[in-house]
């Protein structure tokens, strides 16, 4: 007797559950739990990392992120306005900048600011030491991405808004500042928050600057602990701290996106 389509769907579904369960049970049974626990979840290593993992490493990660986000946002706003400018050279510069820094690995830019500039210009260093250099390097990269986001936001504001503002006698810059930009930023809050999360993770690249103990961020901090303890637990700790910072933010982005979707 032929199998009905419904029966067939049930069989396939049951089979998929069995496969999943087998893999899970097999993995649990064959794993060396004692060893995993020793390597990744060593309580005394966790204790040795506290409180500095929070008071120093997480703090530095947030300083790098906030610094580069601020620098990036200001630069990005200027670039976005340049890209929308009627004056050719401004537009071309913005396009060149955006394509350059989106096309390069962030690591190259970081090395350029950290080592390229000092080598080329006889020890020229950016103010603020490693914290300053790292923030500027990441900010310069982030600006390229955020400029496109801001430009899209500006263009998403209906043309009638600027026209209404101009018809009331506002100058072009004033209409942009008081009417268009506030609406554009509302539109781009979700993608900008996303950019912020990406920056948090990108601060881990700053380990190449050879940061001193005081300027270490999470990844670098974990890495040095891993070397001294010959144990992988610091990675777990860093991962957990990263997630504590990023998960609420990604959740926030999802909520904001749903809200803007509803508003339309």
Partner 1 sequence: MTAVIEIRDLHKYFGPLEVLKGIDFQVDEREVVCVIGPSGSGKSTLLRCVNRLEEPTSGTILIEGEDITDEDADVDALRTKIGMVFQQFNLFPHLTVLNNLTIAQTKVLGRTKEEAEQVAREMLDRVGVLEKVHEYPIRLSGGQQQRVAIARALCMNPDMMLFDEPTSSLDPELVGEVLNVMRDLASDGMTMLVVTHEMTFAEEVADRVVFMDEGVVVEEGPPAQVLTQPRTERARRFLRMVLEK
Q: Which residues contact partner 1 (rule: CB under 8 A)?
A: 158, 160-161, 163-171, 174, 178-179, 182-183, 186
Q: How far is CA 231 from CA 25, 70, 79, 132, in A?
A: 27, 36, 45, 31
Q: How many residues does the chain have?
A: 264
Residues 6+ apart with CB under 8 A from 238: 53, 57, 218, 219, 221, 222
* Element containing residue 246 per DSSP (H, E): helix 233-263
From the CB of 112, what's the least distance to partner 1, in Å? 40
Q: How far is the CB of 204 from partner 1 (least distance, A)?
A: 37
The least CB distance from residue 219 to partner 1, in Å, is: 39
Whole-number Å distance between alpha carbons of 141 and 98: 9
- Of 94 and 165, which has the nearer Cβ to partner 1? 165
Residue keyed to tokens 């190259």: 108
The beta strands (E) that lie in the chain are given as: none
Shorter beta-carbon distance to partner 1: residue 170 or 208: 170
- Min dist. Cβ of residue 86 to partner 1 (A): 13
Q: At what angle do helices 233-263 and 181-202 cross, to 10 degrees?
A: 160
Q: Which is nearer to partner 1, 182 or 213 (CB)?
A: 182
CB 144 within 8 A of CB 97: yes
Q: How far is CA 191 from CA 27, 64, 152, in A?
A: 38, 20, 11
Nearer to partner 1, 183 or 224 (CB): 183
CB nearer to partner 1: give 112 or 185: 185
What are φ and ψ of residue 83, in 5° steps? Answer: -65, -25
- Give the residue with the Cβ less far from partner 1, 181 or 237: 181
Distance in Å, CB of 178 to partner 1, minimum: 6
Give the CA count within 13 Å in the CB-facing half-sphere of 63.
Answer: 20
Q: Least CB distance from residue 183 to partner 1, whole Å? A: 5
């Amino acid at each position: 007797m032929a199998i009905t389509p419904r029966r067939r769907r049930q069989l396939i579904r049951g089979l998929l559950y069995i496969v999943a369960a087998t893999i899970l049970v097999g993995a649990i049974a064959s794993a060396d739990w004692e060893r995993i626990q020793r390597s990744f979840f060593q309580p005394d290593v966790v204790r040795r990392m506290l409180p500095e993992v929070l008071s120093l490493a997480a703090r530095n990660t947030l300083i790098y992120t906030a610094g580069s986000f601020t620098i990036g946002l200001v630069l990005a706003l200027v670039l976005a306005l340049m890209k929308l400018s009627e004056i050719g050279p401004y537009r071309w510069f913005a396009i060149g900048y955006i394509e350059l820094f989106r096309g390069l690995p962030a690591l190259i830019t970081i090395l350029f600011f950290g080592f390229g500039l000092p080598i080329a210009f006889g020890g020229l260093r950016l103010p603020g030491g490693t914290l300053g250099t790292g923030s500027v390097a990441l900010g310069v990269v982030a600006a390229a991405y955020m400029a496109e986001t801001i430009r899209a936001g500006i263009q998403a504001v209906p043309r009638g808004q600027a026209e209404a503002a101009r018809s009331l006698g506002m100058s072009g810059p004033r209409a942009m500042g008081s009417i268009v930009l506030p609406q554009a930023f509302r539109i781009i809050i979700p993608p900008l928050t996303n950019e912020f999360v990406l920056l948090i993770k990108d601060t881990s690249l700053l380990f190449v600057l050879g940061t001193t103990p005081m300027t270490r961020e999470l990844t670098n901090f974990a890495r040095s602990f891993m070397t001294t303890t010959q144990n992988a637990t610091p990675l777990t700790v860093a991962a957990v701290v990263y997630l504590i910072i990023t998960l609420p933010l990604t959740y926030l982005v999802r909520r904001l996106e749903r809200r803007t979707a509803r508003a339309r």
